[in-house]
Amino acid sequence: MTRIGIIRHGRTSWNNAGRAQGNTDIPLDDEGISMAYKLADRLSQENWDAVYSSNLLRAKQTAEIISKKLKDIPVQWDVRLREVGRGQIEGTTESERIKKWGDNWRKLNLGIESTDQVTTRGISLLEEIITQSTATNILIVTHGLFTRHILKILVPNINMDEHIKNTSLTTLLKTSRGWNCEMYNCTKHLEVKEI
């Protein structure tokens, strides 16, 4: 059986400001780095044997912190794990989008990557990992919107009313009948009090 842990990268200044990041290469802010270390501490108490990551800086930084804590499991970088390309809205806030394009900006062709494009690249990578890797407990460090698109395909009945949080962990178990979601959007590591 294969177990996949899907992680959203740590916080960035653009996350904090509510800006659409897409493929713009934004680093973690100080809080994001702290969040990644807390997640890495948590994961070091669990059984993981492979790490895959988006090659965008915010995911790379998160994955590198995790990798070091997991006894330097090498990170395998893959562009298919990048965030949904946001086209012309990258770098903007919701209020800026409404001011520029109006309330119905989502209905405009602003160069945003389609759901089909995102799920095609994401599912192809997952199938490749499952068929080619000897690892059975695999971490994937990626992005919030990308994760939502993939989960809708793998676990169509999952309740995703809650926004996917920075450094959250969602775990999926591959069975003979498909994918089961064991845990969704868990950030219990952020609740740990520092001494």
Of 34, 77, 35, 86, which is closest to residue 56 (Cα–Cα)? Answer: 77
Q: Establish whether 189 is an annotated binding residue.
A: no
Do 109 and 87 meet the contact criterion of CB atoms below 8 Å apart?
Answer: no
Instruction: Give the chain's count of helices (H) and strands (E).
Output: 6, 6
Of 76, 41, 42, which is closest to residue 59 (Cα–Cα)? Answer: 76
Amino acid residing at 24: T
Residue 163 pLDDT: 93
Residue 194 pLDDT: 60
Q: For this structure, is 143 an active site residue? A: no
Question: What is the distance between the alpha carbons of residues 195 and 193, in angstroms, rounded to a whole number?
Answer: 6
For residue 160 the two structure tokens come to 């995703």
For residue 80 the two structure tokens come to 């298919």
Q: Establish whether 121 is an annotated binding residue.
A: no
Do 19 and 91 meet the contact criterion of CB atoms below 8 Å apart?
Answer: yes
Q: For this structure, is 128 an active site residue? A: no
Q: Establish whether 10 is an annotated binding residue.
A: yes
Q: Which residue has the tokens 């990268």?
A: 9
Q: How many CA atoms lie within 13 A of 75 on its CB side?
A: 22
Question: What is the distance between the alpha carbons of residues 114 and 120, in angstroms, rounded to a whole number?
Answer: 10
CA dist list (Å): 177 to 119, 148, 173, 174: 20, 21, 10, 8
Topology at the third CATH level for domain 2-191: Rossmann fold (3.40.50)
Question: What is the distance between the alpha carbons of residues 172 and 154, in angstroms, rounded to a whole number?
Answer: 9
- Annotated catalytic residue within 9, 143, 149, 189: 9
- Annotated catalytic residue within 83, 90, 143, 189: 83
Q: Report the DSSP pairing between strands 137-142 and 50-53.
A: parallel
Q: Please report, in tens digits, the pLDDT of each residue of the chain (195 residues total).
A: 899 999 999 999 999 999 999 999 999 999 999 999 999 999 999 999 999 999 999 999 999 999 999 987 999 999 999 999 999 999 999 999 999 999 999 999 999 999 999 999 999 999 999 888 888 999 999 999 999 999 999 999 999 999 999 999 999 999 888 999 999 999 999 997 665
